[in-house]
Amino acid sequence: MESAATLAGGMKNDETAGTGAAPATQAAELSVVLPSFNEAANIPILFDLLKETLKDISWEAIVVDDNSPDGTAEIARRIARQDPRMRVIRRIGRRGLSGACIEGMLASSASYVAVMDADLQHDETMLPKMLAELRIGDTDLVVASRKVDGGTVGEGLSSMRTWGSNVANGLAQKLLNVTLKDPMSGFFMIRREKAEALAPNLSSQGFKILLDLVSSANGSLRIRELPFTFRERQHGESKLDTLVTLDYFGLLLAKYFGNVVSVRFLMFGLVGASGLVVHLTALRILLLGGMEFNLAQTAASFVAMTTNFFLNNQLTYRDRRLRGLRVIVGLLTFYAVCSVGVLANVGVANLIYADPAYWWFAGTAGAIMGAVWNYAASSALTWRKS
Ligand code: GDD
Ligand code: MN
């Protein structure tokens, strides 16, 4: 006769499993969303740590993996086949920390959701303390902060990142009235229904999910910050570089301007402005070198379009970044798009320009027209969604 244990063990792999014979497991009170990109080595360790720390809580982990080449999703699924507290969302053709966090939160049905890095830099023993805080009932969002008294960045961030992080925090506080000490933290826990209500207003681009939540809530969230020490990474590498700080400024500006313009467009505009500086510098050098004006102007345009292309590829469209041969095709379409943009720019400026008193208005309108065209056309052609 088979023992109950072997019977139950057999059921798991049996095709009849799920027909109602298996008892329902207890619904989770807490979902821990773990955005991941190339964290195969960290996921099993983290899951064991979570099991230990959350042993008195009904919980689940939701790994949201952007199709990591190192097979993170597969590793997580292997755990899930043994332990239903592990859930996996595998996203294909998409990249982005904020988007992954939002998707994970929306996949939860628990009362509380936490968002936490999957790379062991966040101290999982904070989770029960954060949950205890929310259970009391007078708080909607608990942030594990690296900045409040007792918390520290430890050795976890480079000095450049620390500097960028400080400047960004200061700006968030000034521009958005967000009084969080650590609005860049990627470690927090929130009532799910609050996250659910705010989700339609969140930007899936970038990585500033917490700042986005808090500023979108317009002061309606009751917030507490708890200190913790940011650990050093043991396996794998950070996906966020100094450039993401720029991305963050984009979000700040977009929020500040009430979401009338998209983060991407602002970024595109900032890159365009840098292109003007490049253009004038190149023009000056070429003219000094004795080149004839028209030729120098054309050459300078190409220099600026080229730096713009690479900056946009690196920043504005980092989630759709072109690589390999596609960079060359992209650069060529970008030249084509920008050439038409110049026509749009000059055309509009000409239409408006009537009286010398309005030269600046005509010029600005032309430039905006050119930028709008370049943006629309390049996002449709050069960095089209594949
Ligand atoms: N799904 C998905 N998609 N996950 C991602 C992506 C992505 O495009 N990029 C990063 N992640 C995951 C990583 O696998 C990791 O689990 C977590 O998001 C944080 O990424 P890291 O690359 O380790 O970030 P970090 O340690 O450099 O940055 C930390 O500090 C930032 C503020 O300075 C994190 O705590 C960030 O959340 C925080 O905003
Ligand atoms: Mn990290």
Band the pLDDT of 25: cuts 50, 70, 90. low
Best probe residue, ligand 1, of 33, 36, 89, 161 (max atoms within 8 Å of C-beta): 36
**Res 22: pLDDT:** 61
Q: What's the rounded Cα separation, in Å, for the pair 176 and 154?
A: 27
Q: What's the rounded Cα separation, in Å, for the pair 267 and 203?
A: 14
The answer to whether the beta carbons of residues 83 and 61 sit under 8 Å apart is: no
Per-residue pLDDT tens digits for 185-235 = 999 999 999 999 999 988 877 778 998 899 889 889 999 999 998 888 888
Tokens at residue 383, please? Answer: 């960095």
- Go through the domains of the chain in sequence order and give each one's CATH number: 30-237 (3.90.550.10), 263-382 (no CATH)
Regarding the beta carbon of 65 and ligand 1, being less than 6 Å apart is answered yes
Best probe residue, ligand 1, of 46, 66, 97, 116 (max atoms within 8 Å of C-beta): 97
Band the pLDDT of 365: cuts 50, 70, 90. confident
Query: In this model, does residue 279 exceed pLDDT 80?
Result: yes
Nearest CA to ligand 1 atom 23: 238
The answer to whether the beta carbons of residues 53 and 125 sit under 8 Å apart is: yes
Best probe residue, ligand 1, of 45, 65, 117 (max atoms within 8 Å of C-beta): 117
Question: How many angstroms does the Cα of residue 239 sit away from the middle of ligand 1?
Answer: 6
Give CB contacts under 8 A, 24+ apart, made by 344-350.
Answer: 344/369, 344/370, 344/373, 345/369, 345/370, 345/373
**Res 12: pLDDT:** 45
Regarding the beta carbon of 238 and ligand 1, being less than 6 Å apart is answered yes
Q: Whose structure tokens read 């300078």?
A: 300
Tokens at residue 165, please? Answer: 């992080």
Closest CA to 28 of 63, 65, 61: 61
The answer to whether the beta carbons of residues 118 and 104 sit under 8 Å apart is: no
Per-residue pLDDT tens digits for 61-87 = 999 999 999 999 999 999 999 999 999
**Res 105: pLDDT:** 98
Nearest CA to ligand 1 atom 12: 36
Helix, strand or coil for residue 1? coil
Question: How many angstroms does the Cα of residue 204 sit away from the middle of ligand 1?
Answer: 14
Regarding the beta carbon of 252 and ligand 1, being less than 6 Å apart is answered no
The answer to whether the beta carbons of residues 331 and 309 sit under 8 Å apart is: yes
Regarding the beta carbon of 35 and ligand 1, being less than 6 Å apart is answered yes
What percentage of the chain exceeds 70 in pLDDT? Answer: 82
Q: What are phi and psi of 112, to 5 degrees?
A: -130, 145
Nearest CA to ligand 1 atom 17: 117
**Res 6: pLDDT:** 43
Tokens at residue 184, please? Answer: 């860049």
Q: What is the pTM of this model?
A: 0.67
Q: What's the rounded Cα separation, in Å, for the pair 354 and 221?
A: 52
Q: What's the rounded Cα separation, in Å, for the pair 168 and 171?
A: 5
Q: What is the mean pLDDT of residues 330-355?
A: 82
Per-residue pLDDT tens digits for 296-306 = 888 888 999 99
Q: What's the rounded Cα separation, in Å, for the pair 95 and 256?
A: 25
Most confident region among 26-30, 140-144, 253-257, 286-290 by mean pLDDT: 140-144
Residues in the chain: 386
Q: What are phi and psi of 224, to 5 degrees?
A: -130, 145
Helix, strand or coil for residue 177? coil
pLDDT top residue among 5 and 243: 243
Mean pLDDT, rounded, of the chain: 84
